[in-house]
Structures are given as C-alpha cells and as structure tokens.
Structure 1
Amino acid sequence: MADPLRLRPEDRPDFEAVLHLALTTTDVQAALSADPTGRATARLRLRALGDADETAAAARAEYGAYLALRTSAEPGPPPRPAAGNLLPALAVLTPLVAAASAAVLLVLGHLLRLADAEGPLPGSLFTAGWVLTLIAGAGALLAFAAMLRTAIRDGGGTAHAARLQQARENWQRALLDRGLLPHLRRCLREDPPSCPTPPPGVRTAPSHDSRTATHPKEHPSHVGQPDQGPADQPQ
C-alpha cells in the first residue's frame, strides 16, 4: 500500500527550492568549496534528489497538516449553470421590478382618487401597490443577505489561504532543519569532497634555486686560481 504522505509530484519544486537553500548554507558551502570544479556539489544534489522521499519523511507531520489544508481548499464540483445564473438574477431583478410596479400602481390609484373615480379600482390599485412595495422590501433584504454571505465566504477563503501558506512555510522549514541539512551533512561525512588530482603524464617541475647551483668550474677550490695547462704543471 502506497504511503499517503509520500512526496507528491506537485511538491517537487518546493523540495528543490529548499534543497538549493540547504546547499548554500554556510557549513555545507564551506565543505563543498574543497572541490572548485563543482562536481561535488552536483553529485551531492543528485543524491539528495534521489533520496527525496526518505528525506521528506523527517517532516512528515508538517507535510500531513499542509496536505490536509490544501485538500480542504480544493474547489468542489461546479454548480449547475442554470441555477447558478438564475438565482443571482432573480435576487437583483425582483426588488427592482416590484418597486417599479408598486410606484406605478400607487401613482395611478392616487390619480384616480383625485379624479373622483367611482368603483373599487382606486382602492385595488393602492392595495396592489403596497403589496408590491412589501415584496420589493423583502427582495432587497434577501439580496443584501446574499451579498453579506458572499463577503463572509470570501473573507473565510482569504483566512484559509493565509493558513495554507503558513502550513507550507512550516513544512519547508521542517524539511530544511530536520530533513535536508542532516542528510547533506551525513553525505559529506561519508564522501567528503577533495581537490581534483592532475591528469596522468603531467609532472610538476622540481624547485631549482639558481643561487645554490654551482658549476664544476665554480667550485670554491677553483675560485681565484687560473686553470693550469700541461705546461704549467710542476715537474
């Protein structure tokens, strides 16, 4: 059975970023400076990437908390397009239409009363106008409640994003302190970098001090004495 807290592919870039930070730490960088060619750094980096799952297990608790928050932040299935588009439209249009209709009916009822119109029509217009006024007020309250709910939900999403970012930083810090730095230091102890050796066939010339080298003719016993030929030798 696969480990649910195994390092996921989408978190590999974060792992590599923390690895780069660990390789630039003072003690690790000082140990790697023994090899100016950079081969030791590349070899150590490849080894750390190969042991990524084992190294990430040192920050298992922080990684689990980060994954839990990230999973809860994933959006669910999208709502139906019809319902998602119809409800906001009704919440906005209903108060407007009801208020406009109420105004028209109230004005007509008032004009009919001013004209001394007989019959129940002016009263019916007034009644319908006030009913539509109540409907417009209720629709306005519902629209305000929907806007308030949306604002609260967006604020909760912002707080959740902040908690998710904090959990990510906690995991990266634990990965650096308890995972990558101990792993790199152990690798450096097992395989310390060394200065590259010169290629075969290249010899270093021995140091030669011209002041101490003497020619046979410049031996102290010959200093100040002319060379003696065969004719000058004593008989």
Structure 2
Amino acid sequence: MAVPHHLRPEDRADFEETLRLALVRTGQRDLKEQALADADVIIAASGTEYAAYVALRRDASRTPDAQSTALAALAVLTPIVSATSAAFLLLAGYVLQLADVSASLADSLVTAGWVLGVVAVLSTLLAVAALVRTAVRDRRGPASPAEVEQARLEWKRALLERGLVPYLSGSGDNSGRQAAS
C-alpha cells in the first residue's frame, strides 16, 4: 500500500482538529502555525493508517464506470444473441436440406449456424472467466461507512500519538533550549 506524501485537502479539517487536541495535551499552543506548515512531515508518522483510510474512502465511493458497464452488457448479450441466432440458422438450414431446396443456401445457413454456435460458446467462456475474475478481485465488496469511520479514527489516533504529540514535544524542547542559549 503506497503511503501518501501529503495531506489531502478533504482531510485538512481532521488534521486541524487533531492538532488542537494535541496542542491542549502538550500545552504548546503557540506552535499551531508551525505545525500546520509542517503537516506533510507530521503526517508521515501516521502514513500507514492514513493510506489505509484514503484507500477505504476511495473504495467506498467507487462506482462502476461507463466502460465496465458497457462491457458487462456485451458479455451478457453476446452469448444470448449468438446462441439464439445459431439455433435459428441451424434449424432453417437443416429444414431446407430436408426439403431439398437450394442446397447452397441450406449449406450456408448451417455453416453460419455452427460459426455462431462457436461464438456463443467462446463468449460464454469469456463472460464466465470475467465474472470469476471480478468476484475474486472484489470479493469483499465496497467498504462500509463504518469501516471508513473506523479507519479515520485509527488514523487520527496515530496522528495524535505518533505524529503531533512527539512533534510538538520536540518543538517545545527545542524552543526551550533556544531560549536558554
């Protein structure tokens, strides 16, 4: 899972809320602007949780695109249309052969029927393979809002404990050393 290199704009409010909590916890109220400027550095400490949260949020909002919808329709319709056409052409061709009417037309209809039968079988196999691949890939389904909220809370906890509090405590120590010098 790739760790984001920067805070996404939609997560800025959560970062600022967690920063306010950390400022109260550490007593470093004067470092707010510095912490906001260093948001990308601070968020790196909670990068794994943030990446999981962003991925779940993206997964929850995932909708099928027009191309995949069109392909799904094609995968369903091709076997049906080709099998129906094959059955009709084979029936018509064999009836014409039995009736001894125009042998070339009857042979052409039978040949076209068998070709469409092969197309029906192959397209059915492709559709089943695509269905299995999709089922394996999306076995879990989209993330639920509760899962997204849980990931958000885990990120905010990691941001507070591993990012903001150590950052603010370290900055407080540095400002104390600078004042003593």
**Does the CA-based 8 Å contact 2:46-2:163 persist in structure 1?**
no
Structure 1, unpaired ranges of 5+: 29-43, 76-80, 188-235
User: 2:138 is paired with a residue of what secondary structure?
Assistant: helix
Larger Rg: 1
**Does the CA-based 8 Å contact 1:62-1:170 persist in structure 2?**
no
Structure 2, unpaired ranges of 5+: 60-65, 173-181
**Does the CA-based 8 Å contact 2:53-2:155 persist in structure 1?**
no
**Does the CA-based 8 Å contact 1:108-1:122 persist in structure 2?**
yes
Shift in Å, 1:117: 4.1
Structure 2 letter corresponding to 1:98: S
Counting matched residue pairs gives 157
Mapped partners of 2:91, 2:39: distance in 1: 79
TM-score of the pair, normalised by structure 2: 0.54
Mapped partners of 1:181, 1:65: distance in 2: 16
Mapped partners of 2:112, 2:40: distance in 1: 71
Identity of aligned residues (%): 47
Shift in Å, 1:105: 1.2
User: Aligned residue for 1:100?
Assistant: 84
Shift in Å, 1:133: 0.8
User: 1:63 is paired with a residue of what secondary structure?
Assistant: helix
- CA distances 1:69-123 after superposition (whole Å, capped 9, x unpaired): 848x979xxxxx7x76765554343322211211111211332344354735444
User: Aligned residue for 2:35?
Assistant: 52
Mapped partners of 1:102, 1:21: distance in 2: 70
Instruction: Give the aligned CA root-mean-square deviation in angstroms.
Output: 4.8
C-alpha distance 123-99 of structure 1, shift in aligned 2 (>3 A): same
Shift in Å, 1:164: 8.5
C-alpha distance 64-106 of structure 1, shift in aligned 2 (>3 A): closer
User: Aligned residue for 1:231?
Assistant: none
Shift in Å, 1:130: 1.9
